[in-house]
Amino acid sequence: MIMKKITIMTTLLALSLSLGAHAAQSQAGGVEFSGNVDVVTGWQHDDNAAIGDISGQMRDFRGATAPNRDTFGFYLDQVELDIQKTFGEKIRLRADLDFGRFLSGSGRNTDTGAVGSNFELEQGYVTVGALGGEFLIGRFNVPIGYYLVDRPDNVTISYSNIFNFSTPTNATGAKMYWAFGDNFDLHVYLVNQLYDCIVLGAPCLTTPGAPGGDSAIPSWGMRVGYNWGEEGKKSTFGISYAGGPEQGGNNAHLTHMIDMDLSYKATENFLLAAEFIYWQQNNLPTTLGPNAKFIGGLLLTDYALSDLWDIYFSYGYVHDFQGELTGADQQIHNFVLGVGYEITDGAKMKLEYRMDLHHYAAVQPGLQPRNTLVNPANGDRTSLSNAFAAEFAYNF
């Protein structure tokens, strides 16, 4: 097994070097390399009322909360290599290769089934100019919401709870993209499932009723974007819908989500961002209780104090009414305060404090299959997590 991993890594390195040499020899080849290295260190404390959900600033690295749990650690979040090659004006190949998340201690994999894996294919697709736009087929980042999949591309170190619990990140399927002048654009896509899993035997392909369940009918989605502003003040507003038969073996019971995202550059120094989502999963006939619902909102500000320093703040709120996504009927308020320093072009450090306040509702009669984390004898309860984190990220 060790020799197999060494052989794979050696082959990838040789491929990268050969492609790089080819690119240096011929600019017409269109081979481009980019990527990032992202490392995070941090501490999180959960109070004595924590119930074991995956929450808080360090959730991606240390896993579930626990009563009076303290964790401090250093983590290699990812080393990403992006390879892109163009053929003429209409054909483009792209592969985003992510290394190191799981073996460095991170539990956040872009492919949720790859437990124990230290490699993730974040994206791998071919695009062709067609129908006045761009046709893509393969594995791609789903165009929904404000937060992006790669941590260094976001204002904050930690992700919003909307991103953590409800919106899809990567999917495998086909997508069309059109740009209508400088102001409007449209994404339309069909995918195997929104909560993608490509590892054979992974839970999302085998567990009936779970988000991401395998289905004979593809799921679908779209995003309409409006873009405006001059250079240095580019802003965008998007409305997204995604849905489909996400419960394995049940094509008649659909999942729906509607998301609105805003990124508004009021001045060259001040960014205001916001997001709202409504998520609903219609019940299986054998499931007790109403359709599962989830709502969430986000407000984020980022102010550049100078060319090197910025300070940011965000507030997020989510309510998982039946506990379908988080494991309990709960409301979560989270607050983030942080500062960033650009060391040099492409290299940035951030320091961040985050607090997550959970209010758990006691299990209601008939809803116990969903509320798996809350003991009915405890009744309503509140839990608090506090955390500090530092990040160094380099984009190349």
Report pLDDT digits (tens) over 127-186.
999 989 999 999 999 999 999 999 999 999 999 999 999 999 889 999 999 999 999 999
Mean pLDDT of 309-338: 94
Percentage of the chain lying above the pLDDT 90 cut: 58
Q: Is 252 exposed, middle or buried (0-12, 13-18, 19+ CB in 10 A)?
A: exposed
Q: Say what the pLDDT of residue 51 is.
A: 85
Residues 338 and 99: their CA atoms lie apart, in Å, by 27
DSSP secondary structure letter of residue 198: -
Q: Say what the pLDDT of residue 291 is.
A: 86
Residues 270 and 303: beta-carbon distance below 8 Å = yes
Tell whether the model's pLDDT for residue 106 goes beyond 50: no
Question: 235-256: per-residue pLDDT in tens?
Answer: 999 999 999 988 766 777 899 9
> H or E element: which one contains 22?
helix 2-25
Phi, psi for residue 187 in degrees, rounded to 5: -110, 135
pLDDT band at residue 105, thresholds of 50, 70 and 90?
very low
> CA angle, 213 as apex, 210 and 217 as ends, to 5°?
140
Greater confidence (365 vs 218) lies with 218
Give which of 205, 211, 208 is closest to 243, Cα–Cα.
211
pTM for the full predicted model: 0.85
Mean pLDDT of 339-353: 97
Give the range with max mean pLDDT: 85-99, 109-123, 194-208: 85-99
Residues 1 and 226: their CA atoms lie apart, in Å, by 50
Q: Say what the pLDDT of residue 4 is.
A: 39
3 state SS of 151: helix
Question: 267-278: per-residue pLDDT in tens?
Answer: 999 999 999 999
Residues 88 and 96: beta-carbon distance below 8 Å = no
Tell whether the model's pLDDT for residue 189 goes beyond 50: yes
Give which of 217, 262, 240 is closest to 168, Cα–Cα.
240
Which residue's structure tokens are 């401090």?
72
Q: Say what the pLDDT of residue 109 is.
A: 45
Q: Say what the pLDDT of residue 323 is.
A: 85
Q: Say what the pLDDT of residue 25 is.
A: 36
Q: Say what the pLDDT of residue 176 is.
A: 98
Q: Say what the pLDDT of residue 286 is.
A: 56
